[in-house]
Structure 1
Amino acid sequence: MTGHRDRSVPGPLTAWQYFQNGLYYLHVVLATLVLGLAGLPSLLRHGRAGANRVATRWIGYMLWAARLHLGIACEVRGTPPTGDCIVAAKHQCFLDILVIAHAVPRRAFIMKREVMRVPIMGWYAWKVGCIPIDRTRGRDAMRAISTEINRRLSGDGLGQLIIYPEGTRTLPGERRPYKHGVGTIRAATDLPVVPVAVNTGLFWPRKGWGIRPGRAVVEFLPTIPPGVPAEGFVARLEAEIESNSDRLMAEAGFAPQGAPAA
């Protein structure tokens, strides 16, 4: 069952803030076209390494534009991983995708197959190592993903595989049961898992419109090493991510309905 705790409703955005929201998205579309097309020679010549260089530049530009147009500063806490691992993160909005992906050197996502067919963005998703998932296949899809991960581990490495255990974006304070896919993949690959807590949804709405200024924080928590028993793993992961996300949101002034803000 989903639980949701509301904070105080903020005041409405000004006309200027709505204008800046629209200007940001226009800026991002143009930057994606320019940087994506300009980076094609690097992608074709250097493969994954070239795609990652272009992706780092593109994501960094999007974060800079968010600060310019929207007044959002992004802070990364903890130590982003650099080796092969699973990054299991709280997911509230598009902003946490950008911040996490920018913080690690060889990012890869498990994403819907349809997204990887999108021109430009999809090309780079393939090249940086994102893994498509066919959700209609259920458990067979998880087995296929685990097989692909082990194939890469025996080759030139996996990188940092970013997974959202809740399976969807959530509102600040919302709780959804964690899916067992992350536990299945961990058990099949014996990879370390790096939990990530966020407060990004306080500033960047789930649907991406009505973005507000503030300091968004993404925190890489201590790694859960291989060898931790599978029994209770998902519950432990959920407790660490949710409690620390609650802490970050409380620092930013979030409080359950009826409770005083921090």
Structure 2
Amino acid sequence: MSEAIQWVRSLIFMIIIYAWMLVLGLVFAPYALFSKKGASQACRTYARSTMWLARWMVGIRCEVRGSPPSGEVVIGAKHQSFLDIIMIFAAIPHGKFIMKRELLWTPIIGMYARRLGCIPVNRGKKGVAVAKMVKDVAKEFAEPGQLVIYPQGTRVAPGSYKPYKVGTAVLYEGLGFPCVPVATNAGVFWPRTGIMRKPGLAIVDFLEPIESGVQRDEFLVRLEDVIETRSNELMREVGFDPDEAH
């Protein structure tokens, strides 16, 4: 019975947060159309209110650890669910995301993504996509910010593995910024698919930066090692063993 109640609470929660996204998007639209600050304020309001609702409605507490960067960096983050996106965005002052191009045509989300300076990528043409991504990012960084990229390229369920792609290393080299790895266990409680949201402590952990200038192969090995090791530790901390998940 308790699981059924949690499922119903989860369903209501999901309906509310997407309705709230629409409401905020429309309310802030006149401001956001002419101001990146307006777009950022709308998205930050949404992120913080969603985390508050998650705690109140489905029992997910959100905790940020480490030192979120405020300067120009590349953030290479573990991506398990929508929750880690909003937690990271709420923690940094000027977040910009590498995102799949299709999202630009999504109502509300697409407009705000453009105003925030997010960089769209065409997944179907990998070589062209990476080259264009570097060019677009260099242009966008005429204004300071923190560029968030997901090195595995997509959401990965807790306990699953996908290889780390070269795009993060190419950006790291091309921009000449340090890279801040970010680990998470958010997918344990807010899975990438389905309705059910489980109560518990969702964590994103900003780890020690990888200094600029590290050779590409070494950089990718270091990035994957620190993110995967720490994410596994965070999952075990809340009682989920990634080695037994699959």
Q: Shared fold by TM > 0.5?
A: yes
In the superposition, the TM-score normalised over structure 2's length comes to 0.94
Q: Which runs of 5+ in 2 are unaligned?
A: none
Shift of 1:230: 2.2
Whole-angstrom distance in 2 between the partners of 1:163 and 1:208: 24
2:146 corresponding residue in structure 1: 160
Q: 159, 163, 168: which is aligned to 1:173?
A: 159
Structure holding more helix per residue: 2
1:53 corresponding residue in structure 2: 41
Per-residue deviation, residues 114-145 of structure 1 (Å, max 9, x unmatched): 11111111110110111111112211111111
SS of equivalent residue, structure 2 residue 38: helix
SS of equivalent residue, structure 1 residue 210: coil
CA RMSD of aligned residues (A): 1.6
Q: 71, 75, 78: which is aligned to 1:83?
A: 71
- State yes or no: 1:234 paired with 2:223: no
Q: Which runs of 5+ in 1 are unaligned?
A: 1-11
Shift of 1:36: 0.9
Q: In the alignment, is the contact (CA less than 8 A) between 1:113 and 1:133 conserved in 2?
A: yes
Shift of 1:63: 1.1
- After TM superposition, the runs of 4+ consecutive aligned structure 1 residues lying more than 6 A away are none
Whole-angstrom distance in 2 between the partners of 1:58 and 1:136: 31
Whole-angstrom distance in 2 between the partners of 1:108 and 1:131: 7
1:111 corresponding residue in structure 2: 99
Whole-angstrom distance in 2 between the partners of 1:53 and 1:112: 23
Whole-angstrom distance in 2 between the partners of 1:68 and 1:220: 25
1:41 corresponding residue in structure 2: 30
Percent identity over the alignment?
Answer: 41
Shift of 1:254: 2.0
Q: In the alignment, is the contact (CA less than 8 A) between 1:192 and 1:223 conserved in 2?
A: yes
1:193 corresponding residue in structure 2: 179
Whole-angstrom distance in 2 between the partners of 1:40 and 1:15: 38
2:55 corresponding residue in structure 1: 67
Larger radius of gyration: 1
SS of equivalent residue, structure 1 residue 69: helix
SS of equivalent residue, structure 1 residue 232: helix
Whole-angstrom distance in 1 between the partners of 2:51 and 2:121: 27
